[in-house]
Chain A
Amino acid sequence: MRGTAAATVLALALLACRSSSPADEWRAVLDLAGGELRFGVALENGDSGWRGELCNGAKCQPFSAVTVGGDSVLLEMADYAAAITARLQGDSLTGAYRNVGNRGPRVIPFRAARGRWPTSPDPGRLVGRWDATWMGDFGTSPRVIELRHGDAGLEGTIISNTGDYGHFAGQVQGDSFALTHFDGSYVYLLTGELGGGAGVPDTLRGLFHAGLRAQTPWIAVRSTGGPHLKPLTENTQADTAEPFHFAFPDLEGRVVTERDPRFAGKVVVVDIFGTWCPTCHDAAPELVKLYQAYREQGLEIVGLAYEVSGDTGVDRRQVRRYRDKFRIPFTLLLAGVNDTEAAAASLAQLQGFTSFPTTIFLGRDGKVRRIHAGFYGPATGAQHAKQVRDWRQEVDRLLAEKRPAALSP
């Protein structure tokens, strides 16, 4: 009897201890005007202090810092100068996601309850590749929506002419679905409903929510395999008559140009990126793998960073952090600011530069052979695999080209 009482006291104490600590898994929500954006948060208090992760389905990324003081919880996402501030009340967290835009703070209500989001049922007929049309105020624009049944239930991505919107995860209820992507910067919710069947072609209709309030209607039909988007290689062109020219400082402030001996006679891949750009984060590991696989055979890669602040010290720190995060062994240069027009102006040989990242393949003579505008991230599955394969084939092809006569051994 006394043992039972002691066990009860211990259980109550543990329960009290658990409920007073944010160390747990959380079903988190950003309350957008058009609905709930659901994601996961996991927090733990280890030997080295508090840490945590933000999860879209099974894909998670660490918070840059987690601070817990009393009932206050601060979850920071330094890459995007954003944070979630929340107050712990028993089994719930309530507060807001904030970052600062040009016209003041961007504030989206945040709430969370202990536990994990349930895995959604088999999405059935939703699975597949859908040719979608975004219907804006003044015309339409194409997208591809890929939906699949993943480990965490419904997963997928949205692909545009310049790459993908990252990994989406969500729930299915009957013929309706909601997919979300929240990475600390981009706030996306895709809601839709399946129509058709019984002799009528399958159709998806829904809304694409961006940020707190922007909503774009869309409609999609099942892809027949025909082209719906422009290939990534058709968006940006370049002057191919002359070697591709660049001259920017490295992270120690020394100006590096295409004439630097490290590039002489080599196949060079130029990666135009920014540490603020989530798609660039998807591309970085693939570039590292490409470099490791082909460096010995004569491949060199140079990353041109277009950053946010315009303050050399701040931008240099951000790029160093990016280099360390992805263990990038190739050269990174600080090229400018993250404005497509400004970037285009700094690389005069490019025509139609529109997107971050853009990957430029140079032959051994330094001239442009191919340009990929955008990047299909891992969330695009087959598209991603094909792009990685294409990159390797391109590098194989360029390495097989004859060296320019003046540079032959």
Chain B
Amino acid sequence: MTHRRIAAAALLGLAWFTGPLRSQALPPDIAEERSAHTEWLASAANSPLAAVAQQPVGPGVTLGPPGADLPLEGVAEHRVTERNGMVTLKGPEGSRVIPPGRSLVLGACVLTSAGAAGRRVLTVYGKNRKAKTAEYYPYDRGLVFTGPLHPPTQPGRVRVLALDGIESDATEAGTVVVPLGDRPVRLRVRRIPTGNEDEAELEIFFRDDTNAAGTYPAGRFVSLIPLGAGRYRLDFNRARNPFCAYSSAFPCPAPWRGNTIEAKVEAGERYLGGGLAAPPTVPESR
């Protein structure tokens, strides 16, 4: 398989290549990331495993009694609204603001709001299901690639669902060419803001032949790592599930056009069940 990849790349004169096949040991930085991710999934109040509902605030969302938009056991009637970007929870105890990306406790639940002003999304968390958190394929050094990022043919902004199912204003960052499968595959890369000031990630949402056969059916995200001097690293061992893989409370991103690898990418995060049963079928609009 590896020889075939290298041969295909050489044949096409591509700048992408596999790294030298040295140690198969998990690098410490990836080990640390996985440990933090697993710990967060298992214990954080806003862990996707604890999510029970996610809904655009829109004209308003009612919470609490059985007839509410989001019935929550043991919670009196509340209403969540957005005005000028500020999301407010109103109930018998008065009004409270739900700060974007932060948590507010309501009885046994935790509420967060996220997303752009005018399009805020409410997420409700309950008790952590303590399900299996995350499992990974054995580290495969052969699935680490370095090479250039080619400019986008159609630069522009695009609204995409990010890892957490929240609509995000991304930009087309370009494409990378990876020698996987019988012929090199070109993958679309988008720059998605992280929510921290000045910070963003170059993300690839991709599908491959492991989907629904070891990995999440809808596909996975992997970040492109800038190395400087126009070089980038694409390490499929860092591939991770969208939040919809942990809970059906989250919508799944639609597949990105063209980002299908016709080969098994047996690296990165596996799927342990618990999310949406089937991948979305609505194609991306652009």
**Are these two chains actual partners, yes or no?**
yes
Binding site for B on A (CB under 8 A): 31, 33-35, 94-96, 98, 100-107, 109, 137-138, 186, 188, 207-208, 210-211, 213-216, 307-311, 336-339, 341-342, 344-346
User: Is B196 an interface position by the 8 A CB rule?
Assistant: yes
B36 touches which of A96, A210, A211, A342 (Cβ 8 Å): A96
A-side contacts of B227, CB under 8 Å? 33-34
A-side contacts of B112, CB under 8 Å? 102
User: Is B252 an interface position by the 8 A CB rule?
Assistant: no
Tell me if A213 and B201 are in contact (CB < 8 A).
Answer: yes
B-side contacts of A96, CB under 8 Å? 29, 32, 36
A-side contacts of B103, CB under 8 Å? 309-311
Q: How far is the CA of A337 from the CA of B223 in the complex (A)?
A: 31
Apart from A35-B228, A103-B163: 13 A-B pairs, beta carbons within 8 A: A33-B233, A101-B101, A109-B28, A208-B198, A210-B197, A211-B198, A214-B198, A307-B99, A310-B103, A311-B103, A338-B99, A342-B85, A342-B86
Binding site for A on B (CB under 8 A): 28-29, 32-33, 36-37, 39-40, 44, 83-86, 96-105, 112, 114, 117, 155, 157, 162-164, 166, 171, 173, 191, 194-202, 223, 225-228, 233
Tell me if B100 and A339 are in contact (CB < 8 A).
Answer: yes
Tell me if A107 and B32 are in contact (CB < 8 A).
Answer: yes
Tell me if A94 and B163 are in contact (CB < 8 A).
Answer: no
Tell me if B225 and A213 are in contact (CB < 8 A).
Answer: yes
A207 touches which of B196, B198, B223, B228 (Cβ 8 Å): B228
Q: How far is the CA of A338 from the CA of B97 in the complex (A)?
A: 11
Tell me if B97 and A336 are in contact (CB < 8 A).
Answer: yes
Q: How far is the CA of A311 from the CA of B101 in the complex (A)?
A: 13
Tell me if A214 and B32 are in contact (CB < 8 A).
Answer: no
B102 touches which of A214, A216, A309, A346 (Cβ 8 Å): A309
**CB nearest neighbor in B for A307:** B99
B223 touches which of A104, A213, A307 (Cβ 8 Å): A213
Of residues B29, B44, B194, which shows the largest number of chain A Cβ atoms within 10 Å of its Cβ?
Answer: B194
B-side contacts of A307, CB under 8 Å? 99
Assess A101 versus B32: contact at CB under 8 Å? Given A138-B157, A308-B102, A309-B102. Answer: no
Q: How far is the CA of A211 from the CA of B101 in the complex (A)?
A: 18
Q: How far is the CB of B70 from chain A (nearest CB, A)?
A: 19
Tell me if A211 and B194 are in contact (CB < 8 A).
Answer: yes
Tell me if A211 and B199 are in contact (CB < 8 A).
Answer: yes
**CB nearest neighbor in A for B170:** A137
Q: How far is the CA of A340 from the CA of B171 in the complex (A)?
A: 23
Tell me if A137 and B191 are in contact (CB < 8 A).
Answer: yes
Q: How far is the CA of A186 from the CA of B199 in the complex (A)?
A: 10
Of residues A100, A213, A215, which shows the largest number of chain B Cβ atoms within 10 Å of its Cβ?
Answer: A213
B-side contacts of A344, CB under 8 Å? 84
Assess A137 versus B97: contact at CB under 8 Å? Given A33-B225, A104-B37, A341-B85. Answer: no
What are 15 A-B contacts with C-beta separation under 8 Å? A34-B228, A35-B228, A102-B112, A107-B33, A137-B173, A138-B171, A207-B228, A210-B198, A213-B225, A308-B102, A310-B102, A311-B105, A338-B99, A345-B83, A346-B86
Tell me if A337 and B171 are in contact (CB < 8 A).
Answer: no
Assess A308 versus B99: contact at CB under 8 Å? Given A210-B199, A339-B86. Answer: yes
Tell me if A34 and B199 are in contact (CB < 8 A).
Answer: no
Tell me if B225 and A105 are in contact (CB < 8 A).
Answer: no
Q: How far is the CB of A337 from chain B (nearest CB, A)?
A: 3
**CB nearest neighbor in B for A344:** B84
Assess A310 versus B104: contact at CB under 8 Å? Given A210-B197, A213-B223. Answer: yes
A-side contacts of B163, CB under 8 Å? 103-104
